Structure 1
Amino acid sequence: MLIGSAAAALDAPDERVMLTVDGHISTTNSGEQALFDRAMLANLDWRTIETYTSFTEGLNRFSGPTIASLLEAVGAQGAKLRAVAADDYAVTISIADAKKHGAILAMEHNGQQMGIRNKGPIWIVYPQSKAEAEAHTYYVQMIWQLVRIEVLAQAG
């Protein structure tokens, strides 16, 4: 569903689509969706974070665009995200929480491009301390093999 009567346009992807964003967005490149290839994602606000996770050992380095920059690129207007993995597993994430904590769409792990066999090609990763990882603070939100994000309407 688009917000407003006419959507702004993104460039079309040149390579294989890695991520589809839809829902309450105003900037698209394929009907009511925004499709992103690796290069398009790499052109967003790319960050490298060092963090602990409940799924890896020790301190790890992850790189990828911020969720905030993706949402800005698509003109997202909502309160929550429905993040969907390649196997149709889905979680709901608070946009405010993801932005506040600087969550990224990790595409590299310890300097290596992530593939489907190692939680890629996109894994939502939150910066967190060892204690937060051990307490599973962002356990549910850290969905891997991400292929789609739906921006859900404002609460209510």
Structure 2
Amino acid sequence: MTSRFPRTARVRARADFDRIFEQGRRQATPRLAVHWHANDTPARLGLAVSRKVDPHAVGRNRIKRALREVFRQHRADLAAGDYVVVARPAARAATREQLERHFLNLLRRHGALPVTPVPGTMPPAPDALASNEPDPNSP
């Protein structure tokens, strides 16, 4: 899969948006809401940024550009399905980095994007060691 963002990777039809809103799962933060409808097609993105979010087109386009770029960069890692991101009024004051962080966190909460470990932290304990049962081999 290339790093381009072709038309086939976009949710464009009104019927698709309606289907995703009705049948998809939603996760939200104060700045963004992500609706995800899992299916067999490669990941596609739809954006909804209304005038309530920012009355100026340049502000709405800034938000859409930032979200599109994050999606483009992570599309190969995402679970198959259709995603619709709905910006909320608090997104207007968010920086590009904040929008990226919120979007990626929502994708991880959906389980659509694998969780990456934070460098410098300990790896998770294996199931046998994490249980509270005593080890039969220990004295």
Q: TM-score, normalised by structure 1?
A: 0.29
Normalized per residue, the structure richer in strand is 1
Q: Specify the structure having the higher radius of gyration (Cα).
A: 2
Normalized per residue, the structure richer in helix is 2
